């Protein structure tokens, strides 16, 4: 009896795992790609410029903040992180608080966009989008909401075109690319360290050979930062959520977002990695776009800087560094718990992020 009991307790977890794996397989085969909808909040295409599209989100409630807000994501990954699913969507939460929200979507860059530079993204695409938003809404200035690399683009834009920017909200945005050295958490800042370890010629050759910075390559660098999580994701973690349909769909939406990683346009990638990550030109005041120096002290519009305390991709020290460089006295910070992606998709941060941003915007409307 005793040995029978021991045998059962040893095999039970295995039987449970096998059962769950079979169940996971069956469920996954039944879920269609269309069922896993990301970036689903309704919006209308207003302008197309090359592959870049400007959208206006359909209001969910009566507009409370009159000044339009233009959301710009970076070129590593896609904006859908801010609109992953109905109950975990910064976009939806901001709309729910009465914002007139616009989106500039970079589309799916590939080798065709090899020669595009950050100059093009800031001075052409963002500028054209801002002008169009102003024209459509009758405003002279608008609010900008930048996420990660998109935050750097909007920062540059606000510094170079202060007459068009009423306020600047940055989320998980690197400003001082060497400030990872001030972050004592060894889980943070591998991307900074890794980029600095490369020769400049390595970056040039990588980009020239592939015609851009391949999305799957950046994915593998990100996977390196959370090594065990990357290894257990498709076995233990997946099996953990298979019993719960809502959790499984969350998992699949996140996977869909992670897989949707276009190539970073080549010349812009060289600027991103060499001028910013390696040479840290932005805080040194040496970063130039179209021959004009990006001077952070020219950031005279109010600035809200939001960062995540456990962001392993953009260490909080890299974001926080902006405070001492801006030209405005209306500078605020919101530091939130959570990581780079968790800030947008975790259930814990949903309310605090959107409420913090919308309250700040409303006060400066």
Partner 1 sequence: MENAKSHTDALSDTIAQWSEQWRRMADVSVNAGETWSSSMLPFIMKRAAESGFGMTAGNDLAEAIERMAKGPRLADVMDFDRKLANLTAAWNELQGKLAAYQMVAAKPWMRAAEQFGARPPDEKVRSGGWRAQLGAWNELANEELIANQRTEEFLVVQKQLLQAATEFRARQSEISDAIAAMLGMPTQRDFDEVTRQLTELRREVRALERRVEAGSRGTT
Please give the structure tokens belonging to residue 61: 């409630």
Q: Quick check: 138 binds partner 1 (CB under 8 A)?
A: no
Can you point out the beta strands (E) in the chain?
A: 43-49, 52-57, 65-72, 83-85, 88-89, 99-105, 142-147, 165-171, 212-213, 264-265, 288-289, 292-293, 303-308, 331-336
In this chain, which of 53, 100, 105, 120 binds partner 1, going by CB under 8 A? Answer: 120
Q: Quick check: 202 binds partner 1 (CB under 8 A)?
A: yes
Cβ at position 209, least distance to partner 1 in Å: 5
Q: What does the DSSP 8-state code read for residue 121? A: I
* # of chain residues touching partner 1 (CB under 8 A): 32
* Site residues (CB under 8 A) for partner 1, limited to 217-236: 224-229, 232, 236
Distance CA 54, CA 105 (A): 6
Q: Quick check: 190 binds partner 1 (CB under 8 A)?
A: yes
Q: End-to-end alpha-carbon separation of the chain, Å?
A: 75
In the complex with partner 1, the residue whose CB is nearer, 206 or 314, is 206
Please give the structure tokens belonging to residue 2: 């005793």
Work out the angle at residue 326's Cα, subtended by the Cα atoms of residues 323 and 327, and round it to the nearest 5 degrees.
140
Cβ at position 362, least distance to partner 1 in Å: 33
Please give the structure tokens belonging to residue 157: 């834009």
Q: Quick check: 205 binds partner 1 (CB under 8 A)?
A: yes
Q: Quick check: 18 binds partner 1 (CB under 8 A)?
A: no
Distance CA 201, CA 24 (A): 45
Cβ of 65: how many Cβ atoms within 10 Å?
A: 20
In this chain, which of 43, 56, 92, 114 binds partner 1, going by CB under 8 A? Answer: 114
In the complex with partner 1, the residue whose CB is nearer, 226 or 328, is 226
Q: Quick check: 50 binds partner 1 (CB under 8 A)?
A: yes
Q: Quick check: 140 binds partner 1 (CB under 8 A)?
A: no
Based on the residue annotation, tell me whether 148 is a catalytic residue of this protein: yes
Active-site residue list: 148
Binding site for partner 1 (CB under 8 A): 13, 50, 111-116, 120, 124, 186-187, 190, 193-194, 197-199, 202, 205-206, 209-211, 224-229, 232, 236
């Amino acid at each position: 009896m005793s040995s029978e009991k021991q045998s059962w307790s040893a095999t039970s977890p295995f039987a449970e795992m096998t059962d769950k794996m079979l169940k996971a397989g069956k469920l996954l085969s039944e879920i269609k790609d269309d069922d896993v909808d990301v970036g689903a909040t309704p919006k209308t295409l207003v302008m197309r410029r090359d592959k870049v599209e400007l959208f206006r989100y359909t209001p969910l409630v009566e507009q409370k903040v009159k000044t339009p807000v233009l959301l710009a994501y970076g070129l590593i990954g896609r904006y859908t992180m801010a609109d992953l699913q109905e109950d975990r969507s910064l976009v939806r939460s901001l709309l729910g608080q009465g914002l007139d929200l616009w989106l500039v979507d970079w589309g799916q860059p590939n080798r065709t966009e090899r020669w595009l530079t950050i100059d093009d993204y800031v001075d052409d695409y963002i500028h054209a989008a801002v002008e169009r938003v102003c024209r459509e809404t009758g405003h002279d200035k608008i609010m900008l909401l930048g996420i990660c690399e998109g935050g750097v683009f909007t920062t540059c834009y606000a510094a170079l075109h202060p007459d068009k920017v009423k306020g600047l909200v940055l989320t998980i945005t690197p400003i001082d690319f060497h400030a990872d050295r001030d972050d004592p958490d060894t889980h943070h800042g591998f991307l900074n360290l890794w980029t600095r370890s490369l020769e400049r010629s390595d970056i040039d050759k990588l980009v020239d050979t592939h015609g851009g910075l391949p999305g799957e390559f950046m994915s593998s660098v990100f996977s390196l930062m959370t090594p065990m999580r990357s290894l257990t994701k498709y076995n233990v973690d997946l099996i953990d959520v298979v019993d719960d349909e809502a959790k499984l769909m969350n998992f699949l939406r996140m996977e869909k977002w992670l897989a949707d990683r276009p190539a970073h346009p080549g010349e812009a990638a060289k600027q991103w990695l060499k001028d910013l990550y390696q040479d840290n030109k932005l805080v040194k005041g040496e970063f130039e776009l179209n021959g004009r120096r990006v001077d952070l002290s020219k950031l005279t519009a109010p600035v809200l800087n939001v960062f995540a305390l456990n962001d392993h991709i953009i260490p909080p020290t890299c974001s926080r560094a902006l405070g001492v460089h801006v030209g405005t006295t209306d500078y605020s910070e919101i530091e939130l718990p959570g990581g780079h992606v968790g800030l947008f998709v975790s259930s814990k941060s949903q309310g605090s992020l959107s409420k913090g941003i919308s309250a700040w915007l409303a006060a400066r409307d």
